[in-house]
Amino acid sequence: MSGKVTIAGIHTVLAVLRYRPERLLELWVSADRKDQRMDQLLDLAKKAGANVQRVKRQELDKRADDKHHQGVVASVRPATPGTDQQLSQLLDKLDAPPFLLVLDGVTDPHNLGACLRSADAAGVHAVITPRDRSAHLNPTVDRVSSGASQVLPLFQVTNLARCLKSLQQRGIWLTGLAGEASDSLYEANLQGPVALIMGAEGQGLRRLTRDTCDHLVRIPMAGQVESLNVSVAAGVCLFEALRQRI
């Protein structure tokens, strides 16, 4: 990835300014937009020492891949996921039972962004994906996550099966989602140290990932469709876990 990427949208840029201001390189804002959210963004940009340029909408349209930029476009340093070692360090420091989301083979950045947004809202401590066969952090993930990609730790591990076994050694229970599972999500105990493991839509969990899980559950379905989009399924599972944990 190059040394800079372009992001757009007031929620996305505000999240960078609040939580990762060191990523910001340049900022372009609409000369015509004047409201409270813009004032808030400009105040944070000033505190961060950002180079702010007020320009016409046509200039923003040229700079942004997404025309729904809401009058805000920024050039930022690319986000970088954490490593296996950094994941271990985070788990060592937690003072609460770990609550993790593992995504196995989710390659669509829209789905990754939506999963990050739900995971942050549900109080997940970290999201784990394999380094290969997975979507990577990019401007689409930044935008769809509505800022969650700036605050929620994402770790891309070299060997997912090995990582899962190391989680088990820490006493973290691995609960995988599988449509053919006999047990309902609502019968599962999701309190205490737990990692929820979701597979790609259509393919589901890979065999080795499935075999490593301690427990497989399904989301009860009342209609005719056989499965949910992975980001929707993740939201259902995460908030059932949150319900049990509060």
DSSP annotation of 134 reads: S
Other beta carbons within 10 angstroms of residue 47's beta carbon come to 10
Place of tokens 């075999």: 211
The whole-angstrom separation of Cα 61 and Cα 4 is 18
Amino acid 142: pLDDT:
86
Which residue in 118, 153, 143 sits closest to 12, CA to CA? 143
Domain 5-76 CATH (choose: 3.40.630.30, 3.30.70.3170, 3.50.50.60, 3.30.1330.30) = 3.30.1330.30
What CATH number has the domain spanning 84-245? 3.40.1280.10
Strand order through the sheet with 52-55: 5-8, 72-76, 24-30, 52-55
Start-end of CATH 3.40.1280.10 domains in the chain: 84-245
Is residue 86 left, alpha or beta, with left meaning phi > 0 and alpha meaning psi from -120 to 50? alpha
Span 9-56, pLDDT tens digits: 888 899 899 988 998 999 999 988 888 889 999 999 999 888 899 999
The whole-angstrom separation of Cα 30 and Cα 10 is 11
Helix (H) or strand (E) holding 177: strand 173-177
Span 212-240, pLDDT tens digits: 999 999 999 888 777 789 999 999 999 99
Which residue in 125, 115, 123 sits closest to 90, CA to CA? 125
CB–CB of 72/55 below 8 Å?
A: no
Is the pLDDT confidence value at 1 over 60? no
Helix (H) or strand (E) holding 228: none
Start-end of CATH 3.30.1330.30 domains in the chain: 5-76
